[in-house]
Amino acid sequence: MKKIMTALAVAATLSACTSQQPKMLVLYYSQEGTTQKVAEQIAAELGADIERFDVEEPYTGNFQETIERCLKEREEGISPKVKPIASDISKYDIIFLGYPIWFGTYAPPVAALLKDINLDGKVVVPFCTFGSGGLYSSTADLQQAIPGAEVRDGFGIRSARIDKLQPELERFLVIGGYKEGEVESYPDYSEQMPVTEEQVAIFDAACSDYQFPLGTPISVGTRETSSSVDYLFTVESMGRDGNPAQSKIYVTVPKSADARPEFTIVVR
């Protein structure tokens, strides 16, 4: 039987706001539109205000050109200039801050924005989209960059899985207490055991068509929910510095008939 967790709405979780619903703003950067989909869904689910911000000299959208410009900016120690935002941040209690992951963390326009706005005393909820991962590293980077804010656990989804956004976001919003509702309580992963041939095949089916090699699975923990069997692989791979490294890769196999294994996030 599946266990159900009930979450109370956010008003109960925010001690600062006793009588009124907290005011929420979804503030995001999106170059190619994927993060925008998440932003719009959050705003729609919560009835929050929403603003997309941009840089004065927009990136072209071409992957290689963007990478080259970022590397050049990094080398020269310059950051892009952000156009002033229209929203009055001081009016809001909770800022959902959205971005694509670039180079393992939030994209440079976000770093630039953080210098221009004051988030002291605000609750900041990060959300991001990515090719393989970056949610946890970018959240940790945000905590460092805006120590005066309460940066909470965030939401992230691979751009290749954006069609799964609705149920995953709904779960996140309910568990975080931003929205009332009921969600299934998932069990913990079992302890890590050496991988079997069958599990390696599942890993390969989930990961082998990704544009970069993700490494070799050595051990795995599993869990089962009402809708999927999930795997947490420990993987040996090559780090960004070219040295051997370990990562964690989460894979899910939905229980529906035509289900294919998919990796949901790489944690480096």
Ligand X SMILES: Cc1cc2nc3c(=O)[nH]c(=O)nc-3n(C[C@H](O)[C@H](O)[C@H](O)COP(=O)(O)O)c2cc1C
The full DSSP string for 113-128 is: HHHHS--TT-EEEEEE
For residues 125 and 195, which CB has a smaller minimum distance to ligand X in the complex? 125
Q: Does residue 182 bind ligand X (CB under 6 A)? A: no
Torsions phi, psi for 211 (to 5 deg): -65, -20
Question: For ligand X, which is the closer residue by CB, 103 or 140?
Answer: 103
Q: Which stretch binds ligand X (CB under 6 A): 10-18, 25-33, 50-58, 231-239?
A: 25-33
Tell me the window of 5-13, 73-81, 96-104, 219-227 that interacts with ligand X (CB under 6 A): 96-104
Query: Which C-beta is closer to ligand X: that of 52 or that of 171?
Result: 52
Exactly one of 101, 111, 113, 125 binds ligand X (CB under 6 A); that residue is: 101
Q: Which of 33, 58, 194, 239 binds ligand X (CB under 6 A)?
A: 33
Residue 187 CB, shortest distance to ligand X, in Å, is: 27
Residue 67 · residue 127 · CB < 8 Å: no
DSSP E strands in 18-109: the ranges are: 24-28, 49-52, 94-102, 105-106
Cβ(34)–Cβ(93) below 8 Å: no
Contact between 232 and 265 (Cβ < 8 Å):
no
Distance of closest approach, residue 18 Cβ to ligand X, in angstroms? 36
Largest CA distance in the chain: 58
Binders of ligand X: how many residues, by CB under 6 A? 23
- As a whole number of angstroms, the distance between CA 2 and CA 194 comes to 28
Asked if residues 91 and 22 have their Cβ atoms less than 8 Å apart, the reply is no
Q: Burial of 254 by CB count in 10 Å (0-12 exposed, 13-18 middle, 19+ buried)?
A: middle
The DSSP 8-state label assigned to residue 16 in this structure reads T
Q: Counting contacts by CB under 6 A, is residue 70 touching ligand X? A: yes
Provide the minimum distance between the beta carbon of 64 and ligand X in the complex, in angstroms, as a whole number. 9
**The one segment of 9-17, 123-131, 196-204, 205-213 that binds ligand X by CB under 6 A:** 123-131
Least separation in angstroms between CB 68 and ligand X: 9
Where does this chain bind ligand X (CB under 6 A)? 30-36, 63, 66-67, 70, 100-104, 129-134, 159
